[in-house]
Amino acid sequence: MSSNLLLPDESSSQTLRRRLLAIAGTIILVATYLTLIITQPMGIVEGLGQGVALGTFAAYLAAAVLLLLAVLPDLPVSTLTLIPVALALNIILGQFVGSVMIPLYIDSIGTVIVGFLAGRRAGAATGVLSTLVWSLFAPTVLPFAAGAALVGFLAGTAARFGALRRIYLTPVAGLVAGVLVGVVSSPVATFVYGGTSGVGTGALVAAFSSMGDSLLSAVTKQALISDPGDKAVVFLVAALLVYALPKRLSGSFAFVRRYRVLGKRVSK
C-alpha cells in the first residue's frame, strides 16, 4: 500500500512550538492584566499615561496574535471555510440589530457559532480574526482582540460542557462569559482610550465616576451592566441558529459529535 496517497502523522516538534506560542500569549495577557489592575496607573489624569496606553495596546494585541498563530495550523479545512462565513455574519447580522435602536451589539454571533460547532480554539481564532478584519474599517478595535478571543473560547467551553443541551443553560453561560469579557476588556478601554466609544456608555461611566469611582472601576461597572446581558442574548441566538441547522451539517463537525454538544440527536 503506497503511503503517498495517505496522510503522514504530525511531527511532535510542530505541536510543541504551537503549545509554546499559546503559553506565551496567555502569559502576556494575564501578566498585563494583573499589572494594570494592581498598579492602577493613575497617569491618566496627570500625564495622560501614553506609555501605559501604548504598552497595554501592544501587549493585548501581541497576546491575541500569538494565540492566533498557535491555534491556526490546528484547524481543519472545514473550520477554515466556516470562519469567514462567521466573520461576515458578525458584520451583517450585527448591523441589523443596530438598526433597531436597541443597544445590542450582536457582532460576536459568528464567533460564538464557531465556538459552539468547532470548539474553543477555533472560537478563539475566530474572535481574533474578527477583530483584525474589523480593524481595517475601525482601527480602534485592535486591542480588544483578546476579549473577542475570550468570547469564542468561552463559547467553545460552554458547548463542551453541555450548556447547549438544555436551552435555558445557554443564556446563563452567556451571562458568565459577558462578565469575564467585560472584566478583561475594561483595562483596555480605560488605559488605552481613557473611556469608551459610545455616548450611552460614556454617560454611564461619567455617572459612576461622579459617584467617586476611579476610572477603571467606573468603566468596569459599565461593562458589567451591558456586557453580560448582551452576551447572554448572543449565546442564546447562536444556539437557536445552530439548532436550526440540518443534522447533516452540524453533525459533520467532530467537536459536536465528540462532546455531544447538541445532545443525543446528533451523536452516533
Partner 1 sequence: MPRTIKLHPFTILAIAVAVITMTTAASLWWLSCAVMALCLLIAGWAGHLKKLAVLSGAMLLPTFLSLLLIHGLISRDQSPAIAQWGPLRVTIHGLEVALSLGLRTAVLVVVGLLCGLLIDKHQLVAAIDLSPVPPQLGYLLAATLFLLPQMAEKQRQIGEAQTLRHMGTGTGLAGWFQRMRLRAVPLVLASMQDAQDRAVHLSARGFPATGSRTRLRTVPDSSVQRGIRWAALVCAVLGPMLILALAGFGSR
Partner 2 sequence: MRRKLTHQSTAVLGLNLRSFAYLDGADATLRNMHLDVHPGSLTVISGHSGSGKSTLGAILAGLLPRHGMDQLVGTVKVDGTEIEFSPSSAPRVDVAQWAKHVGLLPQDAGHYLSGIRGTVAEELAFSLENAGVPREQMHRQVTQLAQRLRLEHLLERNPQQLSGGQERLVALAALAISEPEVLVLDEPLAGLDRQATELVSEMINMLRANGTALVVLADSMQRWAHEADELWELDRGTLQRVSSEKQQRQPESGATQRQPIPADSRVLLNVDSVQLAYPGSTEPVVQDLNLQVRSGECLGLAGANGSGKTTLLKAIAGLLEPSAGTLVTFGQTGMLLQNSSDQLFERTVFREVSFGIPKKSAARKRISEVLAQLGLESFAQTHPYELPASARRLVALATVMIHEPQILLLDEPTEALDEAGESKLRETIAAVLERGGAVILSTHDERFMERVAHRVHLMK
Binding site for partner 1 (CB under 8 A): 44-45, 47-48, 50-51, 53-54, 68-69, 72-73, 75, 77-78, 80-85, 87-89, 91-93, 96-97, 100, 113, 129, 132-133, 135-140, 193-199, 201-203, 205-206, 209-211, 215, 218, 237, 241, 244-246, 249, 252
Q: Which is nearer to partner 1, 31 or 102 (CB)?
A: 102
What is the C-alpha separation between 38 and 16, in angstroms, rounded?
Answer: 32
220 in Cβ contact with 186 (< 8 Å): yes
Q: If we measure between CA atoms, which residue out of 258, 255, 185 comes closest to residue 224?
A: 185
Decide if residue 7 touches partner 2 (CB under 8 A).
Answer: yes
What is the C-alpha separation between 250 and 239, in angstroms, rounded?
Answer: 12
Decide if residue 96 touches partner 2 (CB under 8 A).
Answer: no
DSSP state of 42: G
Partner that binds at residue 91, options partner 2, partner 1, none, CB closer than 5 to 8 Å by kind: partner 1
* Cell representation of residue 82: 466556516
227 in Cβ contact with 182 (< 8 Å): yes
Partner that binds at residue 254, options partner 1, partner 2, none, CB closer than 5 to 8 Å by kind: partner 2
Q: Which is nearer to partner 1, 157 or 252 (CB)?
A: 252
What is the C-alpha separation between 134 and 121, in angstroms, rounded?
Answer: 20
- Which of 4, 13, 50, 99: binder of partner 2 (CB under 8 A)? 4
Decide if residue 11 touches partner 2 (CB under 8 A).
Answer: no
